[in-house]
Amino acid sequence: MEELSGKTQLHPMTREALQNGFVSEMIARSGTTLRVLSDEERRQSLEATLAAQPVPGDVWLFAYGSLIWNPAFHHAERQPVLIRGWHRQFCLATPIGRGTPEHPGLVLGLDRGGSCRGVAFRIARAEAEAELELVWRREMVTGAYVPRWIRLHGPDLPHGMSGIAFTINRAAPNYVRPVSEAATAQTIATACGVLGSCRDYLFDTIHGLKGFEIHDDHLDRIARLVREYRD
């Protein structure tokens, strides 16, 4: 991890960075014990996911965190949707992107139970494999997520439409079981890594959701606690 004037040098998550394999390199250079998936493992995962598409055609991708406000992939349209059986949770420790090995941050995953409002992106089928390869380089670096097809519910979507969602892998070594909102807020208020602070990640996600008139009471409560902690 590079240092500049005693502070971590930030590297934004851009399309170019993903094309250059920045995320895998970032983790490999960090000294963390997390195992990075090989290019072949990621390719097989993507191919298997696309082969399981319930209905042939354009591919929908469900976003619930940073993909909402920084997708870095080409898409034809996006719209707010609801999924059932999964909820948004700060359940993944990040020792690199939004934290350090000494002070890991927390990022979002989809854990079982409840429901979640987010944003569905439609990717033209002809471009799906190339665009999703970038998404896989970003989300499927260590195998902390399990990509699966989940039913999407939205007023402008055909009935029964499904999209790819990255659900949390509870067997992952950096999966974090639920803790109090106060404990979550303390981590978010203080953790920072090469992609920026957990605090910015939280507020950018809330702002991105509000752009689609989506309000998440859980995130709002954590944000209030983060502000109180920082003040």
Active site residues: 139
Tokens of 37: 């998936």
The neighbour count for residue 208, using CB atoms within 10 Å, is 20
Angle, CA 21 vertex, CA 17 and CA 25 arms, to 5°: 110
The DSSP secondary-structure symbol of 231 reads: -
Q: 225: which residues sit within 8 A by CB, 6+ positions away?
A: 181, 182, 184, 185, 186, 189
Query: Alpha helix (H) ranges present in the chain?
Result: 15-19, 22-30, 39-51, 66-69, 125-139, 181-190, 198-210, 217-230
- 3-class SS string, 120-159: EEEECHHHHHHHHHHHHHHHCCCCCEEEEEEECECCCCCC
Burial class (CB in 10 A: 0-12, 13-18, 19+), 36: middle
